Amino acid sequence: MTGRQLPFFVYGTLRPGERNHDLLLRGRTTAERPALLPGAVLYEGPGYPYALDADDPAATVTGEAVTAAPEEYGRLLAVLDRLEEYGGPGHPANLYERVSREVLLEDGTPVRAWVYVAAERVARRLRAGGRTVDGGDWHEVVSRR
């Protein structure tokens, strides 16, 4: 990574109103804006979702683009990597991969952000027999519970 501090696109338990938001993000951000991750589909996991690249370019995942406070960025990056079980690019134990993707803010503005997507071994399992989240919005799943 260069010295540029990318925002994080959050789409599951880190979204405002979800259990990890208050625990890990509250008071450590300067902006949280509604956003979409185009070209992705959402799968249900065991209490949390997984985003995967979609064959359908019209598919989207709903979330927020979260900008960390500059003084919190390094610590937050480490905390989120640990939460998402990300040990580095392509690590065999990864649950997620942290990748740089373009997300669209609510007004259509494209922004480059870090996104945690399912690691390949997890993605294979989900594509073979996982359950997708219709509409790509984890809040819809949580509200049904």
- What are the catalytic residues? 84
| Gyration radius of the chain's alpha carbons | 14
What letter represents residue 25's amino acid? L
Name every residue whose Cβ is closer than 8 Å to that of residue 117 and which is 6 or more positions away in sequence: 40, 50, 51, 52, 53, 96, 97, 99, 101, 123
Query: What is the number of H-type helices and E-type strands within the chain?
Result: 4, 7
Place of tokens 């134990």: 93
Q: How many residues does the chain have?
A: 145
Structure tokens at 82: 């640990």
